[in-house]
Structure 1
Amino acid sequence: MAYTTVITGPERRRRWSEEQKLELLAEAFGPGGSVTETARRADICTSLLYRWRRAALAPPPCLTPAVLIASSDEPAERAQGPAMLVELPGGARVQVMASAPADLVTATLKALR
């Protein structure tokens, strides 16, 4: 015996534009807003609103230009102040100044790994 299932309601994998997300966030987290009511009206989970808010408040990725100070066969120039020269497998060398932010050094070394 064959049967057919009819699914009613909104499609589950909906795509939300940035404008729609911002409107819902303003409604949910604005003055007098309610996350629960906004989620119920939009037929979404409250956790999705919190995820969108976290993404909207996150700082944009920061890109720092890289400067090649010496090719691999030339000796590196002396740094001004305390520095550390890190030699990675594959021949990459990074000179890290003592004043460099730790998160920048970490991101650089992970990218070159």
Structure 2
Amino acid sequence: MTVISGPERRRRWSAAEREEIVLASFAPGAVVAEVARQFDVSTSLIYQWRRNAQQSETMFVPAVVAADEVPVAAAASGDGRADSPAIRLELAGGRTVNIAATAPARLVLAVLRALR
């Protein structure tokens, strides 16, 4: 328990501390209540920081097209299928998600929501 004395009654977290807490809460298998206890912060505040981080432009990573990749239109075969992915997401830990150009829109939306 942290006891705060003096005129300042609220704790202040630096941007680096907030980022560390939010990243810990997004870790695979993390439970927000446990992260809150670990960092001695309210669970509601962690959820607020998470929402702010998701809405922030800093959460987006610029899309980069590698020079050695073939455009999907050039790689498409005669039956309309693409031999290479139309969307390639590179995730933390070296994992990659490839989405074909012929994937149904509902499937793409479900995958992107699951990764969020």
* TM-score, with length taken from structure 2: 0.40
Which protein has the bigger helix share?
Answer: 2
Computing the radius of gyration from Cα coordinates, the structure with the larger value is: 1
